[in-house]
Structure 1
Amino acid sequence: MPISADQIENFEGAVVTVMGLGRYKQGSGIGAAKWLLRHGSQLVITDLKNKDELKESIDEIMGWYEIYRSTYTDREIYQPIFVLGEHHEEDFTDVDLVMQNPGVPRESHFVQLAKAHGVSVESDISLFFRLYKYPIYAVTGTRGKSTTTALIGEMLKTLHPKTVVAGNITISPLEFLDDLLTENQPVPVILELSSWLIESLENIRRGPEIGVLTNIYEDHLNRYGSMEAYIASKMSMFDFQTKEQKAVVNLDHPIVKTLHEKIHSQIYPFSKTFIPEIDGCFIEDNHLVVRYQGKEESILPLNEIRLQGNHNYENSLAAVMVCVLAGVSFEGIRTALRTFSGLAGRQEELGDIDGVFYINDTTATSPDGLLAALDRFGPNGKIILIAGGASKNLSFDTVAEAVSRLCKFVVLLDGEGSVAFEKSLNSQLPITWAKSMQEAVQLARAQAQKGDIILLSPATASFGLFKNEYDRGQQFVEEVNRWRKK
């Protein structure tokens, strides 16, 4: 019998299907499974990937299960059932609830089948929004959302050391929920939300206390089919905000600027140029400045911010605006801006080997991500680019012009996205192909001279050669380290 997800006690003894285990050890699928088991649910974990592909995730779940069972001998905990390589219809029709991994499209036959049979479909994010009654801050956008989320987290920790940073940043908020519910005072929670995660909130009718929209570029058209559908998915995060809640939005981005009228909460813009009169965060005379309740405060000169580059200035502007609204002190904000060095795989500087520098930008999964990297590292035209992979049905025409102008050589990783990329480059510079990261790094090194930069910035999805974009980046880092030891 379908259950309501609004009360924790309803999960005890409930039969729940977790659809999509995933490969992140603290991600949505594993995080949801652990939380549900901890609260007495009987789980069916089903994934179209097979046992070998999901070995690490299965080991994580079962290892945790054995430790939990032996530690809490007075609690009833059911051993999960795994259905792998396929889905069974009865696991969606004859259960009390379905937990959908964000990687599963909402148009899935099995998701629709569950709904048709009156079975509620939730995600780890929607469940968190239902059960955590205190304010939640959320960040979405095509680019910069992970870095902005993490930077906000660093600032919020100066206000409350137990601040939770979770979501699409590869950590499920359910990992923290039980501890949060035992706190006497509200703990700040900042979530990174992809468009896929936002979709799961459509039945919650609750918006974030502060919602951030970093930007919107063409992306995920392999899932959405059109920019209009993709934009609508992003914007739905603001649909159920109240007039008292707040939206922090990028005034510089043309698409975002046209969407302001669709937001009914209080808008606080940020911009790399001066914003007159209204409250917001902006750059003036090479200083990051915030205006709130009519009062201006110069936060820092740009050259004192640890994260450099125009896109990182935008991330910093957004973070500062959020944290001023959240009550973080100016000194706490300044400390975070001076010390936060960014996240792995996001224009991550790996140092040099024999005068050749290496940059891991594996999370650049769209052409606009690659453009941001070229804007920061490419002006001297000394880039040897490792790019390409699986297709997301995106255009490479604009980025191809920049690559032709700023790169010396391109190594393309196998994949349909690489075929389209090569076509857009139109033989304007030397290109070679690689079937593995090891081969790609070796080919790039063969072309490099002292002072050059070998940049991994794929502009495509990772599936095919790699488990995910983080696996792709890790393989790059391992290859660089292997060469460093020679």
Structure 2
Amino acid sequence: MKGKGILDQVKGQSSELSGLPVTVVGLGMEGVDLVRYLAARGAEVTVSDARDAERLAGQIKQLAGLRIQLSLGENSPEVTQQAAAVYVSQGVPLDLPAIEEARRAGVPIRSMMQTFLEECRGTVVGVTGSSGKSTTTALLGDIFKAAGRDTFVGGNIGVPLLSNLEAIGPGDWVVLEISHTQLELTDVSPHIACVTNVTPNHLDRFRWDDYVDLKRNIVRHQASGDIAVLNRDHEVSRGFAADTPARKVLTSLQPIAEGDAAFLAGRSIVVRIEGRELEACSLDDVRLPGRHNIENVLSATATAVSAGLDTAAIKRAIQAFHGIAHRLELVRRVNGVRYYNDSIATTPERTIAGMRALDGPLVLLLGGRHKHLPWEPLVSEVAGRCRAVICFGEAAHEVREALATAGYRTLLSLTTWATPWKRPPRRRSGATLSCCLPPAPASTRMTTSSSVASTFAGWSRPSRTGPDDGASAGAPPPGGA
């Protein structure tokens, strides 16, 4: 059974999956969620993953007791071609031979996000962007809860969706962070779609035009009764207004004279909906550092007001919000040095935004996996701010070469987090020094939150002559707008 008949069975008809042979490609977090969802509905599930059982031991343990088949060590086209439908976990390349062969055989290719958007009974708010989407999603979740709305927050932030599907009712709100790969196979858009920005990213896997087109999917399938919240200050996100019939709400760090919008006017965040203008909060209410976070607050505010939430709840949530892990997270203060985990900053642009949010000189740890992004703006910023740069990971050579070519000489290398500095950074008289880990390229196993926290804790042990200023969690104090 192939083609339209099967597609009708699996699309929006979860009760009709019973007895159907389906294949899940990729046993990551989404893959585990998909397997549980499909097996619970009676589908005959086969898991296809190029990794072996030893490397997947943790995921396989989570599926104990389910009647499923495992096809491991390779992605066999035979397993996908014989399926009634193939479900692809996010991040799995769609040009994988096993997926291409299934498509040629007429097998429907689906995803977790597509399935969730089709079947969710609640009202969905989706947030995407090259940067800022995690912070905006988390803040939005807090705003909805401050307003007393029954709200589920999930998506790309690590919370499984399908396992929570049945608990979400028609009166509930769902706030989702949605990545570009989660938008690859979607033909459904959220009721409210928020785009924080679209800038060069993931160019190691996608051409720029293809990457932009994936982001466009969040508004592409909206209807006239839906809402698109778009950052006017970024050319690409502003241009998405032409791609959706939905009502547009624009955001900007500059005043917007007309139309539905959220913008900065002096030190006030102002929102205008249907001609009515309100002050949502002041910049003094924002606990997050940097102008990039003001953009995130504007996106969250515009989205919340578009959902009918009052400004009092918005202000309360903003005042109480101190950021999320790995986003300029203050790990420790010792000997006048602040240690920040900014490991979500996996592009040069994000790294610059984090640097500009911090005052004083910096020691920067840069590395990870190279994504073929331009280094020039970051090199210029480093030259004017950094006392030293420590290079690590696959991109260490590219980082060193880019900085050295520009004449920057204070470069060190790091091969393992277990290697501490013999002489940790110390504050010079009259200046506050920050030691910050923003990988700039994509993060690697060396940049997990636990490795960063334990490394910084070890590196920043107080010396005999310098008192420990105390460990701290959360974001640093505001660095100004």
TM-score w.r.t. the length of structure 2 is 0.89
State percent identity of aligned pairs. Answer: 27
Find the counterpart in structure 2 of residue 125 from structure 1: 113
Instruction: Quote how far apart the aligned CAs of 1:42 are.
Output: 2.4
Cα distance in 2 between the residues matched to 1:424 and 1:247: 39
Q: Is it true that 1:476 corresponds to 2:449 in the alignment?
A: no
Matched, 1:423 2:401: yes
Match of 2:194 among 208, 212, 229: 212
Kept in 1: contact 2:189–2:217 (CA 8 A): no
Among candidates 168, 180, 185, match of residue 156 of structure 2: 168
Asked if structure 2 preserves the Cα contact closer than 8 Å seen for 1:404 and 1:429, the reply is no
Whether contact under 8 Å (2:219, 2:240) holds in the other structure is no
Q: Which amino acid aligns with 1:16?
A: V
Report the Cα distance in structure 2 between the residues aligned to 1:429 and 1:56, rounded to whole angstroms.
44
SS at 2:272 equivalent: strand
Seen in structure 2, the aligned counterparts of structure 1 residues 158 and 397 have a Cα distance that, compared at 3 Å, is same
Aligned with 1:443: secondary structure?
A: coil
Question: What are the Cα deviations for residues 10-58 of structure 1, in whole angstroms up to 9, with x where unaligned?
Answer: 2223222111112xxxx31221122222222222222222333323222
- Name the CA distance, whole Å, in 2 between partners of 1:29 and 1:354: 45
Residue of structure 2 aligned with 1:407, choices 358, 377, 386:
386
- Measure, in 1, the Cα distance between the counterparts of 2:182 and 2:422: 37
Q: Which has the higher helix share?
A: 1
Distance 2:185 2:450 in 1: 30
Measure the CA separation in 2 of the matches of 1:482 and 1:314: 34
Residue in 1 aligned with 2:469? none
Secondary structure of 1:223's aligned partner? coil
Does residue 12 (structure 1) correspond to residue 18 (structure 2)? The answer is: yes
- Offset from partner CA, 1:82-130 (integer Å, 9 cap, x none): 2222112221011122110111122222111111122211111111112
Indicate how the Cα distance of structure 1 residues 83 and 247 shifts in structure 2: closer, same or farther if over 3 A, else same: same
- Corresponding residue for residue 69 of structure 1: none
Structure 1 portions without partners, runs of 5+ = 66-76
User: Which residue does the alignment assign to 1:116?
Assistant: 104
Asked if 1 retains the 8 angstrom alpha-carbon contact of 2:334 and 2:461, the reply is no
Q: 1:302 aligns with which of 283, 293, 309?
A: 283
Query: For 1:404 and 1:39, how far apart are their aligned partners in 2?
Result: 58
1:208-287 to 2 correspondence within 5 Å? 208-224=190-206, 226-287=207-268
- 1:81-480 to structure 2, matched below 5 A, reads 81-180=69-168, 183=169, 185-201=170-186, 204=187, 206-224=188-206, 226-377=207-358, 379-380=359-360, 382-415=361-394, 417-425=395-403, 426=405, 427-439=407-419, 442-443=420-421, 446-449=424-427, 451-463=432-444, 465-466=445-446, 472-480=448-456
- Count of matched residue positions in the alignment of Structure 1 and Structure 2: 451
Following superposition, the deviation at residue 158 of structure 1 comes to 2.8
Q: CA deviation at 1:272?
A: 0.9
Structure-2 separation of matches of 1:84 and 1:481: 39
Q: How far apart are residue 448 of structure 1 and its match?
A: 3.8
* Alignment partner, residue 61 of structure 1: 63
Q: Tell me the TM-score normalised to structure 1 length.
A: 0.88
Is the alpha carbon distance of 1:357 and 1:318 closer, same or farther for their aligned partners in structure 2, counting shifts above 3 Å? same
Compute the displacement of 1:483 (Å).
4.8
Equivalent residue of 2:19, what SS?
A: coil
Question: Which of 51, 54, 61 matches 1:52?
Answer: 54
Q: CA deviation at 1:133?
A: 4.2
Change (3 A) 1:481 1:125: same
How large is the RMSD of aligned CA atoms in angstroms?
1.9
Aligned 8 A contact 2:230 2:240 in 1: no
**Contact 2:363–2:433 at 8 Å: present in 1 too?**
yes
Q: 1:445 to 1:129 in 2, by over 3 A?
A: farther
Query: CA separation in 2, counterparts of 1:358 and 1:161?
Result: 36
Are residues 421 and 28 of structure 1, via their aligned partners in 2, closer, same or farther at CA, if it must alter by over 3 Å?
A: same
Question: Does the CA-based 8 Å contact 1:158-1:332 persist in structure 2?
Answer: yes
Q: Which residue of 1 aligns with 2:477?
A: none
Query: 2-side partners of 1:481 and 1:216: how far apart?
Result: 35
Q: Distance in 1 between matches of 2:292 and 2:284?
A: 14
CA separation of 1:304 and 1:159: change in aligned 2, threshold 3 A: closer
**Helix, strand or coil at the partner of 1:297:** strand
Provide the C-alpha distance between the structure 2 equivalents of 1:207 and 1:43, rounded to a whole number of angstroms.
27
SS of the residue 1:289 aligns to: strand
Partner secondary structure for residue 197 of structure 2: coil
